[in-house]
């Protein structure tokens, strides 16, 4: 039965699967695309058209396929295309950066100087070699001249004519030869005569000139006498030449990645295209590639090792990158001449001279191409994570050095491993501690508590300034001008905690440390407080998610797995191909830096060893003395004098908040009362949950030998509960020994 005659047609057209979509309808049988027409039953005047006719018309339309593709777009005019075109820079990038230009000029000058000195030193050897080789050169000149005068090049023809007994031909050739010998002999004789006369005249003019001519003659003959395989000049610099990158090599390597989209495109034809020529870019080759439709740069980045194998280059030479302002399939492949880990580290720009200003970017490292990478520390926080011995402390040290060279910055440094890696900063740090012992951890906690409180003070100061004079503080943030005003106390504070996992995983401190760090990381930037946390164990226990999620800057050196990677670099980084797991054991100091620019960057932090760091700190110390900003630890004030011996005592305060009718009391009740008694000291404790409050109190009273016990009591709602608490008698006993003076 034909479709026209199908009595169920009208009904079947109303089924959901035949609903018109976007103005078209698809014939399920033939896959044809049909126009959308109002259904007969929904026409404005259905009764005027007989049903039979309606069905016929509609079926007619069904048979007529209509193209759903939009009409071919009008070709844009030259003006439209050109106006949209991407403007290529007049000068290459290195010529636009003052620093890079200066580096290159310096390098060329050094290269020229070195090459000249190298050859100048060897010039006596070169003179001896030329002298030895000059007789051979003379012989070569004589032989060549003789061959030329006596027409040696015509000899094969003459020999051939003799062999073929072609008498006429031979006679003609012999005639040519005689004529040539006559002319060339005369020319050679005259040249020799003129040269001899010239030499005689010049040599008799001055003895020095005679020697010079002799030296030139010997030199020239020596050069002519030099065998092709034994060049006179050795190489002043040896360069290892990396193979050239060609489109063929790139396509072959991409096809070896096992990505089906690429394989299909390559099999069909030119599925991979190159929007720009492959060029030299810094110490390597740069290829811009348009991947086949549907293949993303991430697909390639996550197979970097395979790509390196396909290119037959070491892994540390192969750096695929996305182009953020282009489509997701635009790949920039930079292939270095040398493995990044083997390249000579660039010197830190502030190593020898100069001051830093934390309100501008400070030099942190170099990217794969050796270009400097800076980080804006002000108004940011940073998390550094890595496996042990991969360069975490070294990279942290670069930042601390920069902060030390800004004399207005207060340094708060805690290195909780106890190796003294930051020991050189003692002479400039306001607060400093090194160790994994309880005392150092308590010191680090005191710092966090102080900074947390400082947030409050600064926020009030900033609000007041903003109210009084909006222009001074337009964005409710510390400005360079405000930070220099000592009376306001809004100078930048740079706090760094190396091996922060010691605090965040400590049984007694973890809850409070997490809360304080989270508060500082969230609110600190606007108040001029920068917190940098470094850990060799980036997991949820060592780096609480609330802390890592709020860090603006992240630097992840080699890590073992996806969890650690995402913990430091941010959720989904691994999925997006930002994988610090691909770094090898040799890639020390190399990591992904996120937050410094729009795209993640691969950066090798500047390498500054201990003695070099000491010298820089020495300079920082002199600088700070000049500004009178040597304070706290560096000025000889011990922590015991300032922070550790407060004007109050925890046991005395606890004794004060327990009533005589409370022989046993829950710790959380005490903490709430303490917060009411001294909000500036204990206020942050009250924000903890019940269990954390108990931990907090337990660790605070532990040094007095007071242990906590389980206390049976009633909640405010009247329910009974068994919670941690203390005995009043224990507290009173300890409080008797407190000397409040
Ligand atoms: N930017 C760099 N360039 C070259 N080598 C570096 C760089 N940074 C660090 N290294 C090398 O890596 C070694 C380990 O560095 P570092 O002490 O910073 O590691 P770490 O991650 O802090 O180790 P741990 O976790 O044990 O504290 C250093 O001794 C140094 O030689």
Please tell me the distance from the alpha carbon of residue 367 to that of residue 592, in angstroms, as a whole number.
10
Question: Which residue has the CA at smallest separation from atom 30 of ligand 1?
Answer: 391
Please tell me the distance from the alpha carbon of residue 387 to that of residue 390, in angstroms, as a whole number.
6
**pLDDT, tens digit, 9 for 90 and up, residues 43-81:** 444 455 566 666 666 666 666 766 777 777 778 788 887
410-415 vs 431-434, strand pairing mode = parallel
> What does the mean pLDDT of the chain come to?
84
Q: What angle (nearest 5°) sits at the alpha carbon of residue 504, between those of residues 499 and 510?
A: 150
Q: What angle (nearest 5°) sits at the alpha carbon of residue 117, between those of residues 114 and 120?
A: 150
CA 345 to ligand 1: nearest atom: 3
Place of tokens 């031909």: 169
Given a contact cutoff of 8 angstroms between Cβ atoms, the answer to whether 107 and 344 are in contact is no
Lowest mean pLDDT among 282-286, 479-483, 639-643, 690-694: 639-643
Count H helices and E strands in the chain, helices first.
26, 19
Give pLDDT, residue 653: 86
SS3 of residue 372 by DSSP: strand
Kindly give the distance from the C-alpha atom of residue 392 to the centroid of ligand 1, in angstroms, as a whole number.
6
Give pLDDT, residue 19: 40
CA 508 to chain centre: 37
Question: Which residue has the CA at smallest separation from atom 16 of ligand 1?
Answer: 391
Task: For residue 291, count other CB atoms closer than 10 A to its CB.
Answer: 23
DSSP letter assigned to residue 42: G
Give pLDDT, residue 122: 92
Give pLDDT, residue 280: 84
Instruction: Report helix angle 98-121 to 123-149, nearest 10.
Output: 80
Kindly give the distance from the C-alpha atom of residue 391 to the centroid of ligand 1, in angstroms, as a whole number.
3
Instruction: List pocket residues of ligand 1, CB cut-off 6 Å.
Output: 345, 386, 388-394, 417, 536, 588-589, 604-605, 607
The annotated binding site for ATP is made up of 386-393
Give pLDDT, residue 2: 40
Give pLDDT, residue 39: 47
Question: Which residue has the CA at smallest separation from atom 25 of ligand 1?
Answer: 388
CA 417 to ligand 1: nearest atom: 27
Please tell me the distance from the alpha carbon of residue 38 to that of residue 25, in angstroms, as a whole number.
11
**pLDDT, tens digit, 9 for 90 and up, residues 654-695:** 988 888 888 999 999 999 998 888 887 888 888 888 888 998
CA 604 to ligand 1: nearest atom: 1
Kindly give the distance from the C-alpha atom of residue 341 to the centroid of ligand 1, in angstroms, as a whole number.
12
Mean of pLDDT values over 108-126: 92
CA 421 to ligand 1: nearest atom: 17
**pLDDT, tens digit, 9 for 90 and up, residues 250-298:** 999 999 999 989 988 888 877 789 988 898 887 889 999 999 999 999 8
What global pTM score does this model have? 0.61
CA 590 to ligand 1: nearest atom: 1
Kindly give the distance from the C-alpha atom of residue 586 to the centroid of ligand 1, in angstroms, as a whole number.
11
Task: For residue 276, count other CB atoms closer than 10 A to its CB.
Answer: 12
Beta strands in 328-402 (DSSP E): 330-336, 362-367, 372-375, 382-385
Ligand 1 binding pocket mutation candidate from 339, 394, 496 (most atoms within 8 A of CB): 394
Mean of pLDDT values over 422-427: 93
Kindly give the distance from the C-alpha atom of residue 390 to the centroid of ligand 1, in angstroms, as a whole number.
5
**pLDDT, tens digit, 9 for 90 and up, residues 179-202:** 999 999 999 999 999 999 999 998
Mean of pLDDT values over 635-651: 61
Kindly give the distance from the C-alpha atom of residue 204 to the centroid of ligand 1, in angstroms, as a whole number.
70
Q: Would you list the DSSP string of 498-533?
A: ETTHHHHT-TTTHHHHHHHHHHHHHHHHHHTEEEEE
Cβ contacts of 682 within 8 Å, gap of 6 or more:
653, 671, 674, 675
Give pLDDT, residue 239: 62
Please tell me the distance from the alpha carbon of residue 542 to that of residue 500, in angstroms, as a whole number.
7
Question: Which residue has the CA at smallest separation from atom 9 of ligand 1?
Answer: 391
Beta strands in 184-225 (DSSP E): none
pLDDT band of 548, cuts 50, 70, 90: confident
**pLDDT, tens digit, 9 for 90 and up, residues 488-538:** 788 999 999 999 999 999 988 989 999 999 999 999 998 999 999 999 887
Ligand 1 binding pocket mutation candidate from 373, 532, 587, 589 (most atoms within 8 A of CB): 589
**pLDDT, tens digit, 9 for 90 and up, residues 586-638:** 889 999 999 988 888 999 999 999 999 999 999 999 999 998 888 889 988 76
Token pair of 340 as six digits? 């990044």
Q: Which residues pair with 413 in a beta bridge?
A: 432, 496
Give pLDDT, residue 52: 61
The annotated binding site is made up of 386-393
Ligand 1 binding pocket mutation candidate from 347, 386, 389, 401 (most atoms within 8 A of CB): 389
Sheet holding 709-714, edge to edge: 664-666, 720-727, 709-714
Please tell me the distance from the alpha carbon of residue 613 to that of residue 421, in angstroms, as a whole number.
10
Ligand 1 binding pocket mutation candidate from 397, 500, 588, 607 (most atoms within 8 A of CB): 588
């Amino acid at each position: 039965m034909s479709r026209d005659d199908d009595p169920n047609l009208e009904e079947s057209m109303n089924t959901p699967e035949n609903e018109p979509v976007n103005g078209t309808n698809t014939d399920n049988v033939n896959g044809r695309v049909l126009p959308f027409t109002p259904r007969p039953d929904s026409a404005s005047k259905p009764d005027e058209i007989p049903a039979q006719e309606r069905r016929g018309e509609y079926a007619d339309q069904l048979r007529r396929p209509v193209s759903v593709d939009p009409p071919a777009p009008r070709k844009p005019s030259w003006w439209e295309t050109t106006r949209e075109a991407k403007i290529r820079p007049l000068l290459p990038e290195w010529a636009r950066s003052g620093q890079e230009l200066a580096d290159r000029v310096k390098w060329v000058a050094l290269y020229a100087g070195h090459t000249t000195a190298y050859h100048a030193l060897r010039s006596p050897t070169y003179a001896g070699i030329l002298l030895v080789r000059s007789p051979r050169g003379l012989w070569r000149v004589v032989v060549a001249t003789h061959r030329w005068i006596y027409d040696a090049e015509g000899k094969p023809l003459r020999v051939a004519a003799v062999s073929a007994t072609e008498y006429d031909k031979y006679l003609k050739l012999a005639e040519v030869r005689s004529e040539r010998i006559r002319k060339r002999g005369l020319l050679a004789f005259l040249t020799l005569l003129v040269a001899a006369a010239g030499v005689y005249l010049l040599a008799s003019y001055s003895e020095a000139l005679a020697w010079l001519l002799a030296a030139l003659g010997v030199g020239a003959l020596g050069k002519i006498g030099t065998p092709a395989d034994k060049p006179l000049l050795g190489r002043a610099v040896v360069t290892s030449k990396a193979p050239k990158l060609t489109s063929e090599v790139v396509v072959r390597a991409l096809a070896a990645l096992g990505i089906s989209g690429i394989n299909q495109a390559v099999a069909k034809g030119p599925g991979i295209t190159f929007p720009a020529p492959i060029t030299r870019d810094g110490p390597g080759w740069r290829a811009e590639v348009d991947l086949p439709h549907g293949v993303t740069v991430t697909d390639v980045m996550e197979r970097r090792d395979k790509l390196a194998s396909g290119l037959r280059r070491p892994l540390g030479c192969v750096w695929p990158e996305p182009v953020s302002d282009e489509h997701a399939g635009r790949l920039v492949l930079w292939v270095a001449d040398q493995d990044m880990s083997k390249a000579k580290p660039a010197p830190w720009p502030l190593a020898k001279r100069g001051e830093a200003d934390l309100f501008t970017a400070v030099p942190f490292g170099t990217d794969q191409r050796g270009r400097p990478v800076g980080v804006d520390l002000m108004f940011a926080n940073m998390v550094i994570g890595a496996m042990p011995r991969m360069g975490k402390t070294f990279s942290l040290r670069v930042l601390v050095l920069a902060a030390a060279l800004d004399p207005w910055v207060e340094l708060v440094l805690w290195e909780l491993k106890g190796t003294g890696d930051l020991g050189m900063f003692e002479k400039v740090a306001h607060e400093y501690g090194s160790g994994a012992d309880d005392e150092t951890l308590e010191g680090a906690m005191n710092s966090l508590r102080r900074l947390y409180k400082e947030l409050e003070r600064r926020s009030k100061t900033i609000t007041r300034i903003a109210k009084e004079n909006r222009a001074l503080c337009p964005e409710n943030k510390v400005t360079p001008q405000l930070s220099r005003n000592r009376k306001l106390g809004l100078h930048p504070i740079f706090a760094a905690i190396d091996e922060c996992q010691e605090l965040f995983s400590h049984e007694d401190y973890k809850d409070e440390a997490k809360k304080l760090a989270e508060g500082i990381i969230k609110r600190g930037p606007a108040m001029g407080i920068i917190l940098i946390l470094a850990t060799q164990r980036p997991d949820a226990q060592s780096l609480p998610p609330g802390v890592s999620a709020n860090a603006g800057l992240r630097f992840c050196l080699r890590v073992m797995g996806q969890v650690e990677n995402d913990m430091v670099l941010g959720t989904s980084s691994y999925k997006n191909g930002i994988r610090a797991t691909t770094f090898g054991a040799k890639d020390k100091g190399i990591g992904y830096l996120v937050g410094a620019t729009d795209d993640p960057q691969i950066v090798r932090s500047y390498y500054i060893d201990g003695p070099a760091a000491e010298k820089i700190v020495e300079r920082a110390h002199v600088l700070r003395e000049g500004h009178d900003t040597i304070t706290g630890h560096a000025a000889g004030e011990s922590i015991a004098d300032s922070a550790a011996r407060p004007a109050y005592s925890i046991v005395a305060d606890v004794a004060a908040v327990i009533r005589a009718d409370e022989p046993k009391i829950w710790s959380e009740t005490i903490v709430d009362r303490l917060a009411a008694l001294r909000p500036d000291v204990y206020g942050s404790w009250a924000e903890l949950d019940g269990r954390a409050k108990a931990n907090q109190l337990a660790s605070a009273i532990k040094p007095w030998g007071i242990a906590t016990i389980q206390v049976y009591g009633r909640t405010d709602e009247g329910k009974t509960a068994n919670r941690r608490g203390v005995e009043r008698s224990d507290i009173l006993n300890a409080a008797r020994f407190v000397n409040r003076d």
